[in-house]
Structure 1
């Protein structure tokens, strides 16, 4: 068993990993406030910029599982650094882009590939370096806190940079953070050696990527064409079924598949993955609905909208940083259930206060509760999944876990968007939030089915 880092080195190990999650979460949310500026500067349309955002989601979702598996063969720190370099090059290329094509190459392709390479090692290294439940809860708490801040404060930070300088400066900011992470990561050591002779399942990588691309495309098509959505989702499910059949066949033949079927035989992990998916669905769905309401109905600008989201950011930060103390006092199942309960109540408070008051302050209590709820459960959900498997399967489960979370983010935006463009003009925003509350209750149900005290997983030397 690898000893947990000493107290004096914990900050040095955690900081680059947490900053990596921050910048990737920031990139996923800050472009929403730049769409008009980018489209005007690059002489393109709003739809063109949305295509760039969509491709970014597709690349991340498609490559996250192969990216997680690649860490076993090439090493976790090596993949982490490679992902940072690819991401940084993509950010600089985006900042210098003369047109939409170069922006897609830099932001959508290179940043997407970089994210898929660097995010799985963040969770694998955290699991391997912090072996006891308390220190691991502290580590994941810091990582999820900065990830939550990146997602929730992305519109505010992006809006401030765009309004004060330009949208290009926001990509320069990302590149500078990447350079800082690379310098800080010198203190991170990979506890396991790479296995260069370990086989890589190319067929499985292609099938999983194509299947996830089709699923995400189907989700994103939900607000345009229901028949197209149905066809893409069906095709995606069929390809993913082919992928599962392929990995089962390889395992029976004694070969190493991209993703071991045994990952799906773990009841605790399966429930944990469901809670992760629902958490990100609710987080991104709420962010989309509230931002759209503020800008379309209240006519707030990017900075005003971002300031209102500060309440959710503070809630996420407070509860995530308390992860260590909460883990010492309460079972992880209890924390996840409490998180979903707080989030559902927060949505109810948000609906009630906003409907009864024109003041911007009416958003604060509900968003604060939603942020607190999400922060309470993000860390234990990740911990439940990662801790369910031994060291040799950390690459696989980390890639699967991040893919499930990314699918939740895409689904949250698609579900909210579908409702908002339906014939519910007067009550569309309330209807979208009610649906998100119902989904949160489904997450609460999955959390209630988690074992009260999961059995610890034996760890390999």
Structure 2
């Protein structure tokens, strides 16, 4: 793409102000995905449910986010990025309030999983589209994505600590009230946001594509959740989900050939760099949320830790993730994106090994810290370059679609991580389930490392500083 077609850079002060509500929006959504992990015992006792019931609510939240993220990205074209951000925040806020007053698991699922999940799917694509349009140049965009990814990573990693503090100090219900307050703050800060591009009211949503994609993903993850109870049901749901997704991809290809606008353009899946980047994103979030759920459940159910005790232990992961995420722009100037992603996977896999080894060598609480620190640092190291690589592989006109696809793939990873880890734990929590779940997550990390190794080397670090990211290739 020539530089003449790029949007003009925004003044630093304006861009900086715009970044605050965007980062906070990503923070609260990621926080929601992990803070319930330390409330497992409290919620199950208060609502008369089980660990599996709470796990289902967490997984459904992440799954609904993934299922409706692509439609959320498409809706930005019709309704505008800033407007859809505010609508999503409103829906999310309703869900947080419903969750706070839930009398039973059903209302908790309605508020936290359905309303908050759909609200997140509407508000997150605009966050990344706005960041892409407002910040031009590899380093500037890496800095913006670094702040947003750091907010998301810290929200996920610090969710157990903040949730533990609120749960122990007040109640688990107050944690949802905290989310509602953050939503109000973001809405206030977003009043000054200006959409860089006008909305297109003529844009239409592919409703059949929405139904097929959502149904396929829901069936697939539901099959994983059923694995510990009935393997035939598990197999049936997963095969059904795969067939529905095949039907979805057939539908979008036919729609494109007929000249209609499909939910997801098949052209997005023909970019090798983007595809590999999406694989790494999926596995990163699978490892982050999967390890968070695994360690939280083990600490509370097996070791008998309280919500605050569990949250304090997770501080190590938060510190590691925050340190590497906030240094994203500095790393981008000195290292290639492929190098950062590969290094991140290596550090995370080592962290999983250290975590398993030390926890089995000693029963002391400090044994969790070194492994969690490495896991947090490794994940923070690669979250930003993966996002930057995928978003920068396409031009501005395709940002709505690729942003929705990118966030959908990431949240699918989160839901898969929680579902897989939770299924293994539920089947064998006391007799080695903890180690088995972490080993499986480490195995996925090796697959992510293999995908990252196939990424092209890309341009020399710092070469594109101040220039636009290319439309086709790594940024």
Same fold (TM over 0.5): yes
Structure 1 residue 19 displacement after superposition? 0.5
Structure 1 residue 200 displacement after superposition? 1.7
Structure 1 residue 161 displacement after superposition? 0.9
Structure 1 residue 46 displacement after superposition? 5.0
Q: Which moved more, 1:18-27 or 1:46-55?
A: 46-55
Q: Which moved more, 1:181-190 or 1:73-82?
A: 181-190
Give deviations 1:377-416, integer Å, cap 9, x for gaps: 0000011111111112111111111111111112212222
Distance 1:359 1:22, change over 3 A: same
Contact 1:88 1:111 in 2 (8 A): yes
- 1:245 is matched with which residue? 250
State the TM-score, normalized to the length of structure 2. Answer: 0.92
Match of 2:58 among 53, 57, 62: 53
Does residue 179 of structure 1 match 2:184? yes
Please list every run of 5 or more consecutive structure 2 residues that lacks an aligned counterpart in the other structure. 1-5, 460-468
- 1:352 is matched with which residue? 357
Aligned Cα RMSD in Å? 1.9
- 2:380 is matched with which residue? 375
Structure 1 residue 51 displacement after superposition? 4.1
Give deviations 1:341-378, integer Å, cap 9, x for gaps: 11111112222222222221122111111111000000
Does residue 189 of structure 1 match 2:194? yes
Distance 1:420 1:126, change over 3 A: same
- 2:465 is matched with which residue? none
- 2:101 is matched with which residue? 96
Distance 1:161 1:211, change over 3 A: same
Structure 1 residue 138 displacement after superposition? 0.6
Structure 1 residue 193 displacement after superposition? 0.7
Q: Which moved more, 1:237-246 or 1:423-432?
A: 423-432
- Cα separation, 2, equivalents of 1:188 and 1:223: 47
Contact 1:219 1:410 in 2 (8 A): no
Give deviations 1:303-351, integer Å, cap 9, x for gaps: 1111111000000000000000000111111110110011111112222
Match of 2:68 among 63, 67, 73: 63
Does residue 216 of structure 1 match 2:230? no
- 2:119 is matched with which residue? 114
Structure 1 residue 40 displacement after superposition? 4.0
Distance 1:213 1:411, change over 3 A: same
- 1:22 is matched with which residue? 27
Extract structure 1 runs of 4+ deviating beyond 6 A: none
Structure 1 residue 249 displacement after superposition? 0.7
- Cα separation, 2, equivalents of 1:425 and 1:170: 29
Distance 1:367 1:37, change over 3 A: closer
Does residue 142 of structure 1 match 2:157? no
Match of 1:416 among 414, 421, 436: 421
Contact 1:223 1:414 in 2 (8 A): no
Q: Which moved more, 1:235-244 or 1:342-351?
A: 342-351
- Cα separation, 2, equivalents of 1:360 and 1:214: 38
Contact 1:20 1:119 in 2 (8 A): yes
- Cα separation, 2, equivalents of 1:47 and 1:308: 23
How many residues were matched structurally? 459
- 2:436 is matched with which residue? 431
Contact 1:3 1:130 in 2 (8 A): no
Q: Which moved more, 1:331-340 or 1:345-354?
A: 345-354
- 2:167 is matched with which residue? 162
- 2:405 is matched with which residue? 400
Please list every run of 5 or more consecutive structure 1 residues that lacks an aligned counterpart in the other structure. none
Structure 1 residue 48 displacement after superposition? 4.5
